């Protein structure tokens, strides 16, 4: 039954009502048969942020193609509508057919950002479902989650009935079949379906595991049920070519981020940047066949009417034969010659800028590069092996081809970072401006500085995050250094939000009480600067007897149990530990696509290989063949692991 008649009178009273109407080209209108599993796929942020999410659209299409499944979508209502919904008793609804969330069988979230966790709890509550898994009745929704954040689902484990690790394409079908069968049997014992789900590869059912603590530390996370495997391995699809999804990308009526056709050209990345969780957990590299990319681009443009296509991946310039694909797209006669191609993750070298120049004949506004750190030493530590000359060649190439504005992304708070490294950012930015002045009167360089948050399943997972005060000090250090450089604009992320992100990134199950507490005190949309409220997090920690230093700032030891140790992204823990030691020794590691295997585990463990069309690395500077790993030096900062004070909740 549709809630549209109840919803519509509220729309006149809220901002951006088009967020809630659906009506996109490609909107789902599935038949919800009583014997099929109905999924409500959710993105726990606003419609504008959530709609373009490709993962959600891929899964919705796969489910809707099945005879035993149906899928619709929902997004977090903005605070103005939420207030009206609560005042009028209107529950969470799908945007496709405005069906009540409670009429579905499964509410499943895509989690791409940790600070959305309070929105997840809020949406479960708005759906009329008890927020904790343990409190749910057989008829209540099954609450699931997938996406990059779920490699450490422990902070939200109490809220979730099941978690899918890794690629969802295959697992989603198996879950659909299991839930449909359970539904046909009349949804008896809830534990029964949870046990069935736990038997599906890649599916983690938190309730079937106990987390055991001693002296304020996690000791182990062990199954409490015979149906639960001791370790949950992620799912990996071997051949991206078998999954040409989304086949009919949704075209929204109102403005959203990434409002263009998106075609995923490969999944995975083996550049090995040590701070990058995506690059570690999505291994191995699996390229989509170039012909399929061409077909998806040209058919997608024709179907949607978009004049822009993004070729997406973690480093698109590494796609074999990228130049040819780009040239074919721009010159496709069916596309009318007005198509622009965007490469959302540019590599830092002149080759990449050359491709960008090829395709952005018009509208040359700005280019973004991500050197990530200010000195070569620091970049070796993080294994982002860009030499200064590569950055300058890229920047020179861009300015000479007509671009005027550069944006440079950096991280601060990286392991072993010294003030010299932080100030190195200023030197790089100034040198870029100087190059720009050779070509333009008023070149501008924007430096965007993010606070580093160590993530699970990366070599930096043992590193104690910089404190709020330390991050703030470094930001101000750089700000003061750049005070007189009017051509360099510095932007930074709020270190307070960085702390909160750290709290939930590597927290354990004790963090659920904190997340619930923040939510109960009104803390939704915490990833939005104007809504983030540090006080809520501090008070929640205090009320629960937990301290941020234990979860965020403390260096972990090799023998410490990590909250995600019972999960596996395929990576051997000793590979990650060795990479962490290599980082501290400032030893870089070449891309394994074109060098011998380091046995990280991602390929060998699953019996699959990198699927790369080209046996030779792409052209370019240090990021291509020209890597120079010979430069090394002493470790200037010693990392002393520390034990936490014995406070906090214990099991």
Partner 1 sequence: MRIRLRFTKTGKIRWTSHRDIARVWERVIRRVGLPVAYSQGFSPHPKLHFGLALSTGHESVAEFIDIDLDDSSPLLPSEADLAALPLRVSAALPIGLEVTGCAVIPSNSTSLQQAVESCEWDIEIRGAAPDAVAAAVERVLAADDLTITRQRKGKDVTDDVRPYVLALAVVGPTDAGTQVHAHLATQPRGLRVSELLALLDPQWEEGLVRRTAQWTLIDGARHEPLEGPAEATSTSHATVRAS
Q: Does 255 participate in binding partner 1 (rule CB under 8 A)?
A: yes
Nearer to partner 1, 25 or 242 (CB): 25
CA distance 344 to 415: 27
Q: Give, as one character, the DSSP assignment of residue 144.
A: E
Q: Is 29 in the site for partner 1 (CB under 8 A)?
A: no
Determine the Cα–Cα distance for residues 477 and 412; give it in Å rounded to an integer. Answer: 11
E strand or H helix at 294, and its extent? helix 290-304
Contact flags string 586-625 toward partner 1, x per CB under 8 A: ----------------------------------------
Give the span between the Cα atoms of 414 and 637, in whole angstroms: 11
DSSP string for 197-224: HHTSTTEE-GGGEEEEEETTEEEEEEES
Using the contact rule CB under 8 A, the part of the chain among 135-143, 252-260, 274-282, 479-487 near partner 1 is 252-260
Binds partner 1 by CB under 8 A, chosen from 251, 317, 475, 512: 251
Single out the segment in contact with partner 1 by CB under 8 A; choices: 14-22, 86-94, 206-214, 319-327: 14-22
Q: Which of 199, 336, 366, 646 binds partner 1 (CB under 8 A)?
A: 336
Check residue 333 for interaction with partner 1 (CB under 8 A).
Answer: no
CB of 11 to partner 1, least distance (A): 5
Residue of 183, 113, 84 whose CA lies nearest to 141? 183
Strand order through the sheet with 261-264: 261-264, 308-312, 340-342
User: Rounded CA gap, 485 and 439, in Å?
Assistant: 18
576 is a contact residue toward partner 1 (CB under 8 A): no
Measured over the CA atoms of residue 482, residue 485, residue 488 and residue 489, the dihedral's sign is: positive
**CA distance linking residue 344 with residue 137, whole number of Å:** 44
Stretch that binds partner 1, among 19-27, 428-436, 440-448, 460-468 (CB under 8 A): 19-27
Q: Which stretches within 34-75 are classed as H helix?
A: 47-50, 54-65
For partner 1, which residue of 307, 469, 480, 542 counts as binding (CB under 8 A)?
307
17 part of the interface to partner 1, by CB under 8 A: yes
Is residue 415 within 8 Å of 641, Cβ to Cβ? no
Least distance CB 469 / partner 1 (angstroms): 43
Q: Which is nearer to partner 1, 230 or 336 (by Cβ)?
A: 336
Report how far residue 556's alpha carbon sits from residue 509's, in angstroms, rounded to the nearest whole number: 17
Query: Nearest-CA neighbor of 43 among 33, 30, 56?
Result: 56
Count of other CB atoms within 10 angstroms of residue 275: 26
Contact status: 20 vs partner 1 (CB under 8 A): yes
Smallest distance from the beta carbon of 13 to partner 1, in angstroms? 10
Distance separating alpha carbons of residues 250 and 260, to the nearest angstrom: 10
* C-alpha span between 75 and 60 (Å, rounded): 14
User: How near is the Cβ of 251 to partner 1 at its closest, in Å?
Assistant: 7
Size, binding site for partner 1 by CB under 8 A: 25
**First-to-last C-alpha distance (Å) of the chain:** 44
Over the Cα atoms of the chain, what is R_g?
A: 24
Task: Quote the least distance from Cβ 21 to partner 1, whole Å.
Answer: 5
Nearer Cβ to partner 1, position 4 or 575?
A: 4
Q: Cα separation of 338 and 111, whole Å? A: 35
Cβ distance to partner 1 smaller for residue 252 or 459: 252
- For residue 445, the minimal CB distance to partner 1 (Å) is 22
Residue 39 has φ and ψ, to the nearest 5°, of: -105, 135
Measured from the CB atom, is 7 or 126 closer to partner 1?
A: 7
Which stretch, 49-57, 148-156, 248-256, 278-286, contacts partner 1 (CB under 8 A)?
248-256
The interface region with partner 1, picked from 11-19, 420-428, 496-504, 601-609 by CB under 8 A, is: 11-19
- Say whether residue 1 binds partner 1 (CB under 8 A): no
Residue 31 class from Cβ within 10 Å (0-12 exposed, 13-18 middle, 19+ buried)?
exposed
CB of 52 to partner 1, least distance (A): 15
Residue keyed to tokens 């959710």:
42
Q: Which stretch binds partner 1 (CB under 8 A): 140-148, 156-164, 250-258, 322-330?
A: 250-258
* Site stretch for partner 1 (CB under 8 A), options 4-12, 128-136, 611-619, 631-639: 4-12
* 25 lies in the binding site for partner 1 (CB under 8 A): yes
Closer residue to partner 1 (CB): 135 or 307 = 307
Give the nearer residue to partner 1 in terms of CB position, either 304 or 446: 304
Q: Which of 34, 186, 305, 333 binds partner 1 (CB under 8 A)?
A: 305
Nearer to partner 1, 47 or 452 (CB): 47
- CA separation for the pair 509, 512 (Å, rounded): 6
Q: For residue 559, state whether it binds partner 1 (rule: CB under 8 A).
A: no
Residues whose CB falls within 8 Å of the CB of residue 318, separated by 6 or more in sequence, listed in order? 266, 269, 271, 347, 593, 618
Query: Does residue 258 touch partner 1 according to CB under 8 A?
Result: no
Q: Which of 21, 219, 290, 619 binds partner 1 (CB under 8 A)?
A: 21
d(CA 22, CA 362): 32
Q: Maximum Cα–Cα distance for the chain, whole Å?
A: 74
Asked if residue 22 binds partner 1 (CB under 8 A), the reply is: yes
**Part of the chain binding partner 1 (CB under 8 A), chosen from 59-67, 138-146, 251-259, 613-621:** 251-259
Residue closer to partner 1, measured from CB, 98 or 509? 98
Closest CA to 53 of 64, 44, 62: 44
Q: Which stretch binds partner 1 (CB under 8 A): 148-156, 247-255, 344-352, 417-425?
A: 247-255
210 token code pair: 């106990």
Q: Give SS3 for 309.
A: strand
DSSP lists the bridge partners of residue 528 as: none
Rule CB under 8 A: say whether 30 interacts with partner 1.
Answer: no
Beta-carbon contacts of residue 294 (< 8 Å; ≥ 6 apart): 325, 328, 329
Binding characters for partner 1, 274-303, by CB under 8 A (x = yes): ----------------------------xx
Write down the least CB distance from residue 250 to partner 1, Å: 12
Residue of 64, 292, 304, 342 that binds partner 1 (CB under 8 A): 304
Contact call for residues 460 and 275 (beta carbons, < 8 A): yes
Residues 359-378 binding partner 1 (CB under 8 A) are 362-363
- Residues of this chain that interact with partner 1 (CB under 8 A) are 4, 11-12, 17-18, 20-25, 251, 253-255, 302-307, 336, 338, 362-363
């Amino acid at each position: 039954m549709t809630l549209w008649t109840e919803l519509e009178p509220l729309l006149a009273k809220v901002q951006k009502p088009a967020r809630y109407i659906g009506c996109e080209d490609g909107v789902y209108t599935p038949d919800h048969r009583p014997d099929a599993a109905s999924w409500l796929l959710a993105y726990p942020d606003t419609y504008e942020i959530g709609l373009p999410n490709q993962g959600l659209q891929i899964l919705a299409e796969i489910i809707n193609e099945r005879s035993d499944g149906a899928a619709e979508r929902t997004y977090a209502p903005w605070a103005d509508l939420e207030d009206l919904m609560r005042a009028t008793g209107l529950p969470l609804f799908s945007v496709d057919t405005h069906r009540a969330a409670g009429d579905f069988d499964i509410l499943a979230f895509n989690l791409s950002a940790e600070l959305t966790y309070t929105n997840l709890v809020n949406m479960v509550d708005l759906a009329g479902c008890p927020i904790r898994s343990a409190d749910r009745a057989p008829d209540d929704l099954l609450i699931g989650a997938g996406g990059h954040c779920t490699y450490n689902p422990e902070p939200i484990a109490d809220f979730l009935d099941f978690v899918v690790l890794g690629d969802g394409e295959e697992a989603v079908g198996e879950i659909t079949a299991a839930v449909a069968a359970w539904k046909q049997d009349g949804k008896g014992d809830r534990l029964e379906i949870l046990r069935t789900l736990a038997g599906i590869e890649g599916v983690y059912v938190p309730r079937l595991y106990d987390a055991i603590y001693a002296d304020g530390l996690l000791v182990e996370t062990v199954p409490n049920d015979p149906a639960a495997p001791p370790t949950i391995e992620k799912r990996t699809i071997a051949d991206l070519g078998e999954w040409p999804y989304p086949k009919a990308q949704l075209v929204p009526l109102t403005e959203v981020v990434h409002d263009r056709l998106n075609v995923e050209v490969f999944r995975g990345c083996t550049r090995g940047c040590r701070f990058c969780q995506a690059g570690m957990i999505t291994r191995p590299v699996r390229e989509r066949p170039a012909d399929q990319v061409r077909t998806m681009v040209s058919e997608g443009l024709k179907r949607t009417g978009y004049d822009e296509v993004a070729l997406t991946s973690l480093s698109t310039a590494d796609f074999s034969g990228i130049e040819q694909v780009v040239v074919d797209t721009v010159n496709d006669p069916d596309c009318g010659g007005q198509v622009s191609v965007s490469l959302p993750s540019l590599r830092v070298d002149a080759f990449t800028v050359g491709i960008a120049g090829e395709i952005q004949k018009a509208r040359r506004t700005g280019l973004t590069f991500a050197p990530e750190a200010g000195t070569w030493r620091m970049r070796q530590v993080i294994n982002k092996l860009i030499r200064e000359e590569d950055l300058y060649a890229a920047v020179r190439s861009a300015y000479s081809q007509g671009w005027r504005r550069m944006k440079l992304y950096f991280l601060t708070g990286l392991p072993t970072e010294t003030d010299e490294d932080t100030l190195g950012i200023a030197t790089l930015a100034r040198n870029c401006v100087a190059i720009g002045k050779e070509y333009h009167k008023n070149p501008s360089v924007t430096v965007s500085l993010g606070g580093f948050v160590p993530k699970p399943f990366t070599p930096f997972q043992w590193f104690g995050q910089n404190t709020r005060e330390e991050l703030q000090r470094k930001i101000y250090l750089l700000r003061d250094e750049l005070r007189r450089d009017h051509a360099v604009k510095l932007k930074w992320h709020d270190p307070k939000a960085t702390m909160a992100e750290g709290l939930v990134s590597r927290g354990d199950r004790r963090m659920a009480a904190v997340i619930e507490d923040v939510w109960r005190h009104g803390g939704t949309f915490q990833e939005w600067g104007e809504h983030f409220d540090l006080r809520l997090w501090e008070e929640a920690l205090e009320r629960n007897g937990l301290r941020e230093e234990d979860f965020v700032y403390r260096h972990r030891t090799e023998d410490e149990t990590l909250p995600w140790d019972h999960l596996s992204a395929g990576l051997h823990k000793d590979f990650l530990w060795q990479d962490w030691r290599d980082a501290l020794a400032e030893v870089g590691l070449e891309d394994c696509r074109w060098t011998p295997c380091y046995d990280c585990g991602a390929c060998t463990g699953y019996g699959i290989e990198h699927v790369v069309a080209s046996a030779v690395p792409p052209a370019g500077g240090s990021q291509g063949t020209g890597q120079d790993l010979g430069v090394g030096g002493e470790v200037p900062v010693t990392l002393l692991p520390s034990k936490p004070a014995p406070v906090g909740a214990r099991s």
